[in-house]
Copies of this chain bind each other. A is one copy, B any other.
Amino acid sequence: MAARHEEIAEELRQAIDRGEYPVGGTLPSESELAARYEVSRGTVRQAVAALTSEGRIGSRQGARRVVLGNRRSQSFAELRSFAQWARAMGRTATGHVIEQHRRPATQEDAERLQITAGEDVLQVLRVRGLDGELVLVERNVYPLWVAEAVERIPADCESVVRALYDDIGIIFAYGEHVIDAIGAGTEDAELLGIRRGGPLLRIRRTTTTHAGRPIEWSDDRYRSGSVSFAIANSIGSNQLVRHVV
C-alpha cells in the first residue's frame, strides 16, 4: 500500500494535469493542504518534495509553490534547460562557463531584450557536454535585472534555469526560436574540437517571463550529429515557419 504522502503527491499531480492548479499559478499553502488531506504538515512536505524533485513545482521554501509544469508542458522546461533535458533521458550533462563579462547593449541586444542600447548587459559563453562529449556552445545575453543572479551562479553549475528560479524566482515561460545551419567559426571550432567551417545546428532564442519580459537571448550551436529538433504539425495547426535568411 502506498504511503499517505505518496497518495497525496499523486493526487496533486493529477490536479495539476487536470488544470485545477494551472502552470504558472500556485499550489495551496502547506497548512491548507494539511487541512484538506487531514494529515500533518510533515506529510504534506514529503508530497511536495516529490513534486519539486520532478520539476513540476518550484523549490522555494516557505512560499506557495509555483506550478512549473504538467504532463504536457514538462517538455518546455526540458527544451529550455539542457541539464533538465539530459537528466530526463538518464544522461549526464555538464556545463562550464568559458567567459563572461558585462558590456553595453548593442542595437540588436536592445531590440531583443526590450532595453535601451548602451545599458549594461551580461554576456556569457558556455560549453556543454553530454555523457562526457562536448556538444554545444552557448552564447547568452542577459539584461541587467537578471545579470547579478547569473553572476552568482557557479561556473560549473549544471542548470542555469534551475539556479535562476531558486535565486530570484524567474520562470522561463515563452520562447521564440529560429533554427538554421552555419559553418563553425574559429571560436566554435576551438571550443568543440572540430574543424572550422564544419556544420553546426544553430538555435537563436529569446525567452521571456509570463509577463513577456525578456530574460535572455541566446545563440546555441550544436555539433553536427549530436542533437536534432523534432516538431509535429498539421493542416489545422502549424507553428513552424520557414523564412528566407
Contacts and interface: CB of A to CB of B under 8 A. Distances in A.
Q: From A55, A173, A211, A239, name the one whose CB has the most chain B CB atoms within 10 angstroms.
A: A239
Contact of A229 (B78, B171, B180): B180
Count the copies: 2
Interface in A63-97: 63, 66, 68-69, 72-79, 85, 89, 91
B200 A181 contact: yes
Contact of A182 (B178, B199, B227): B199
Interface string A210-245: 111110000000101111111111111111111111
Contact of A199 (B74, B183, B214, B233): B183
Contacts of A72: 236-237
A198 interface: yes
B232 A174 contact: yes
Interface residues of A, number: 75
B201 A198 contact: no
Interface of A: 22-24, 55, 58-63, 66, 68-69, 72-79, 85, 89, 91, 114, 130, 171-183, 197-202, 206, 208, 210-214, 222, 224-245
